Amino acid sequence: MSADLLLGWISKCGSKREKLAVCGCENTRNAAVATTMKRLVYYTVMGPCKWVQLSLHLIRGRSYNLYENEDGSDIILMVGDEVYRERIPAHSWVLAAGNQVFRAMLQGPMADRHKETYNIPTDPKGFQNLLKWLYRHECGIQSMESGLITLQVAIQYLCPELAELCVEYIAQHLNGNNVLRVLQYIHRYCPSNQGSDNSEISTAPSAPSLEDLDEFPQTCVDPRVEQLERSQHTVHNMTQLQELCDDADFRDPTACCTDLFNACLELVDRETRLVLASELLEEVDYDTLELILRRSTLNVPNELPIFEAVQRWSTAKCKRDKLPLTQENRRAVLCNLLYHTRFLQMNNEQLPQTACLLTANEFNYVSGRISGHNMTTIPPTLAPHLSEMDKPRCHTPPGTPQNANIKNKKKRTTGKKKYTRKELMLDIVSCLAVIFD
């Protein structure tokens, strides 16, 4: 919407002060335009007036050139942590009109209308991509790392359209060398038991229940993951999220992660040897590694590559925790990860290499079982895992690549905003209003 069109609207519907400003100098005219735009946004957010909402829809086109522009900005966003922080000028009416989290933060009942500076303790790169989406309806993802960071910010600020674009970009660039990094990011938005021991790609819900999040187990968790979770900027609590889920217009921003999560698991099954030999395996967290080790569809000729990967991870974990590389410390950091190796599927030539992690009783029992002896005394540490350790891994290639499903499931225009039916009708009415104005 041009400034002249907006000034024409002011001359018909504006207040007396705004009409006088239209006749003044250019600076006064621009001030009148900015003031009117802010009022239109306020009434759109807080009031039910349909014609004001229509006018706001016409104004949206002006926000394209306001990205990273000091002109007309009324708030300052300090994005980042204490070590590195960036100053970004922003326009509250643009953020409030395009995102419900900013709407609540800037214009909600508890918002401070006089506050001008906001601290946003999140990644500056991902947050800038979110702002670019809100201002220009396009995203600036150019690398896998940028896509993962932006996906995290999009979910954090409840922006499902941007999350879908991130997932689409990540799926297009997914391969055996980066699948572990993607899986670790996506795993936090999916159930902990999803795809753990199934021969088929899981189709479980895309996010854990609120009860699971509130009662998340604290044992055997990588301290770095705990620190990351504590450092994440949370703009809503679980009660508010539940209220949003009950809203008919709310779209779960994590829903698009299910297909990407399943694509990662399918790739791990297909290229297991490459994934297990990757350097990223030593850096993944406990839960992600457990998810991989429990799968019965891993494409490996025997269990020895899996045991070697477990041994490498325990070495790296002990180094990170500054622990001596002893058998006791390795077993302590592994917890139950050690027993997801299916020792009973090994042979007598492969088994001796496992003596560095198995105790004498465990090794003797497994060796006796492999040799065909009837072992009556079962070590207590092995008893809960015997059924899993005796199950062979049988890889069955999926019929349809999951990457193609992500691309074809929904029609998307990469980098552009996806129209809803409501917005399409608003555009049609807006064009008619401009023509007959």
Q: What is the pLDDT of residues 175-200, one digit of tens each?
A: 999 999 999 989 888 764 454 554 44
Contacts of residue 415, Cβ cutoff 8 Å, sequence gap at least 6: 138, 139, 165
- Asked whether residue 148 is assigned to any structural domain, the reply reads no
- DSSP annotation of 206 reads S
d(CA 412, CA 24) in angstroms, rounded, equals 46
CA-to-CA distance for 297 and 76, rounded, in angstroms? 51
CA distance 36 to 48: 17
Distance CA 121, CA 219 (A): 27
Question: Mind giving me the DSSP string for 62-92?
Answer: GGGGGTT--TT--EEEEEE-SSSEEEEEE-H
Q: What was the pLDDT predicted at 421?
A: 58
Q: Is 16 part of any domain?
A: yes
Evaluate whether residue 409 is within a structural domain.
no
- Asked if residue 38 is part of any domain, the answer here is yes
Number of structural domains found in the chain: 1
Instruction: Output the CA angle 246-249-251, nearest 5 degrees.
Output: 80
Q: Write phi, then psi, for 176 (nearest 5 degrees).
A: -65, -20
**Is residue 49 situated within a structural domain?**
yes
Distances (CA, A) of 350 to 131, 216, 278, 305: 55, 37, 22, 10
In a domain, 379, yes or no: no
In the prediction, which pLDDT does 183 show?
94
Q: What is the pLDDT of residues 124-170, one digit of tens each?
A: 999 999 999 988 778 778 899 999 999 999 999 999 999 999 999 99
**Segment 361-369 long-range contacts (CB within 8 Å, at least 24 positions apart):** 369/344
* Tokens at 77, concatenated: 């966003």
Domain that holds residue 42: 3-61
Residues of the chain with pLDDT under 70: 1-64, 191-250, 395-437
Q: Tell me if 21 is assigned to some domain.
A: yes
Coil, helix or strand at residue 427: helix
85 bridge partner residues: 80
User: What DSSP element (H or E) covers 120?
Assistant: strand 117-120
Question: Looking at residue 46, what is its pLDDT?
Answer: 42
Strand partners, 119: 78
Q: Is the pTM of this model over 0.75?
A: no
Alpha carbon of 267 to those of 5, 400, 436: distances in Å? 54, 12, 56
pLDDT of 173 reads 94
Residue 50 within a domain? yes
Phi and psi angles of residue 347, each rounded to the nearest 5 degrees, phi first:
-110, 180
